[in-house]
């Protein structure tokens, strides 16, 4: 009963924010982030457009599917992906209804790509679009997905994977800040970050089987900074600390363990954690650390270092390697050089997520990468 009254209160607060003039978007962001998210699809239809500042009074009509499909370079690939997307539809949905939705899904994707020739389709994009289609229907989904594709997802829709890889590069520094032991274990196993690629580019839609969990995460991501999914990915890895450390320390074993995502994650706890980490270690700070280590490393760069760096794409790995290889006598300098890692979670206990994340830092920007300088790897100009 307590839960029900809390839920009722939250619904009332959401409608109050929607009905205030002007609409209280900051309050809606907080509601989307805080426990339980936006609660119902009916509410999501009203709030998601506000989080993406999409004007619902003025939705363009959808073009007829036939003209979109003729001579569209992406049509065949989109068709294949959508046909394979059976498990993204509610189990027990009648075939003809599902097939109708799959046709709509193809049209939405082709429509957005046609209107935005700068965007490139990637496999996994349909996993995001189908989530919107199932929650808000085709016309509104088209408008929301178009906005999302030119903002949050922009980096994944480049002609190359460079920006996507760059975003994946944030994963290890976040893990390192919280749990150096897990970080170092993963580095030794040389597991890389590819296990998290499908999480990131589908906003976990592709890997979670329960639709309720997917839309709960979409509430969270839509209300937050575009890099939040990579913080959430880090939090999942950290949550599995014991499994990771018990694993054989080799690439195949660790990759296999991590790419199998557990379905019974404590989502609300992890969402709170991801938010706290974002506030404590914002992207700009992580990028600075990487850049700073890069500078220290380049000063005494050798070709071997360069090779290592380009293989691992992580400038600081080389520096760590250096520290590990040092003779005992240098322990004292080492302790001065490496940043003290006193209990970093003490701060988090006193930091209320809702307050912290109400911050202006979460305003939607053009693309995740505008928030952080690139990790520069051009050692030779």
Q: What is the CATH number of the domain that holds 51?
A: 1.10.8.1310
The tally of domains found in the chain comes to 2
User: Do 130 and 171 sit in the same domain of this protein?
Assistant: no
pTM, two decimals, is 0.78
User: Do 195 and 136 sit in the same domain of this protein?
Assistant: no
Q: What is the CATH number of the domain that holds 180?
A: 1.10.472.80
Whether residue 367 has pLDDT greater than 70: no
Domain that holds residue 79: 1-151
* 204-225 confidence digits (pLDDT tens): 999 998 999 999 999 999 999 9
User: Do 112 and 142 sit in the same domain of this protein?
Assistant: yes
Whether residue 189 has pLDDT greater than 60: yes
Q: What is the mean pLDDT of the chain?
A: 80
Which of 290, 308, 336 delimits the end of a domain?
A: 290
User: Do 118 and 178 sit in the same domain of this protein?
Assistant: no
Which of 262, 290, 318 delimits the end of a domain?
A: 290
Whether residue 306 has pLDDT greater than 60: no
H, E, C per residue of the chain: CHHHHHHHHHHHHHHHHHHCCCCCHHHHHHHHHCCCCCCCHHHHHHHHHHHCCCCHHHCCCCCCHHHHHCCCCCHHHHHHHHHCCHHHCCCCCCHHHHHHHHHHHHHHHHHHHHHCCCCCCCCCHHHHHHHHHHHHCHHHHHHHHHHHHHCCCHHHHCCCCHHHHHHHCCHHHHHHHHCHHHHHHHHHHCCCCHHHHHHHHCCCCCCCCCHHHHHHHHHHHHHCCCCHHHHHHHHHHHHCHHHHHHCCCCHHHHHHHHHCCCCCCCHHHHHHHHHHHHHHCCHHHHHHHHHHHHHHHHHCCCHHHHHHHHHHCCHHHHHHHHHHHCCHHHHHHHHHHCCCCCCCCHHHHCCCHHHHHCCHHHCCCCCHHHHCCCCCCCCCC
What confidence tier does 369 reach under pLDDT thresholds 50, 70, 90? Answer: low
* 221-253 confidence digits (pLDDT tens): 999 999 999 999 999 999 999 999 999 999 999
pLDDT value of residue 290:
52
Mean pLDDT throughout 267-272? Answer: 95
* 166-180 confidence digits (pLDDT tens): 888 889 999 999 999
User: Do 196 and 229 sit in the same domain of this protein?
Assistant: yes
Whether residue 373 has pLDDT greater than 60: no
pLDDT value of residue 4:
87
pLDDT value of residue 123:
92
């Amino acid at each position: 009963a307590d839960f029900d009254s809390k839920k009722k209160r939250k619904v009332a607060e959401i409608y109050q924010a929607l009905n205030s003039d002007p609409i209280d978007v900051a309050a809606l962001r907080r509601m989307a982030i805080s426990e339980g998210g936006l609660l119902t699809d009916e509410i999501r239809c009203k709030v998601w457009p506000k989080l993406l500042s999409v004007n619902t009074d003025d939705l363009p009509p959808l073009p007829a599917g036939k003209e979109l499909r003729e001579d569209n370079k992406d049509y065949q690939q989109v068709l294949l992906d959508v046909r394979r997307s059976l498990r993204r539809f509610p189990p027990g949905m009648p075939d003809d209804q599902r097939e109708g939705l799959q046709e709509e899904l193809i049209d939405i994707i082709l429509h957005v790509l046609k209107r935005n020739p700068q965007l490139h389709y990637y496999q996994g994009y349909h996993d995001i679009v189908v989530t919107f289609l199932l929650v808000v229907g085709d016309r509104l989904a088209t408008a929301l997905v178009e906005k999302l594709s030119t903002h949050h997802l922009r980096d994944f829709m480049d002609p190359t994977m460079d920006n996507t890889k760059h975003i994946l590069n944030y994963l290890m520094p976040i893990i390192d800040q919280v749990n150096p032991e897990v970080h170092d274990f993963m580095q030794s196993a040389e597991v890389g970050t590819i296990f998290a690629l499908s999480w990131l580019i589908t906003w976990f839609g592709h890997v979670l089987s329960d639709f309720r969990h997917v839309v709960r995460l979409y509430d969270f991501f839509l209300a937050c900074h575009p890099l939040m999914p990579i913080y959430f990915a880090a939090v999942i890895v950290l949550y599995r600390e014991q499994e990771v450390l018990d694993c054989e320390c080799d690439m195949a074993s660790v990759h296999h363990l991590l790419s199998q995502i557990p379905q019974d994650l404590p989502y609300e706890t992890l969402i709170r954690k991801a938010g706290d980490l974002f506030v404590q270690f914002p992207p700009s700070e992580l990028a600075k650390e990487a850049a700073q280590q890069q500078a220290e490393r380049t000063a005494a760069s050798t070709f071997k270092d360069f090779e290592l760096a380009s293989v691992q794409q992580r400038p600081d790995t080389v520096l760590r390697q250096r520290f590990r290889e040092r003779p005992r006598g240098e322990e004292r300098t080492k302790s001065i050089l490496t940043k003290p890692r006193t209990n970093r979670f003490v701060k988090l206990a006193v930091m209320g997520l809702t307050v912290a994340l109400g911050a202006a830092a979460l305003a939607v920007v053009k693309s995740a990468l505008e928030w952080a300088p690139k990790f520069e790897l051009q050692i030779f100009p």
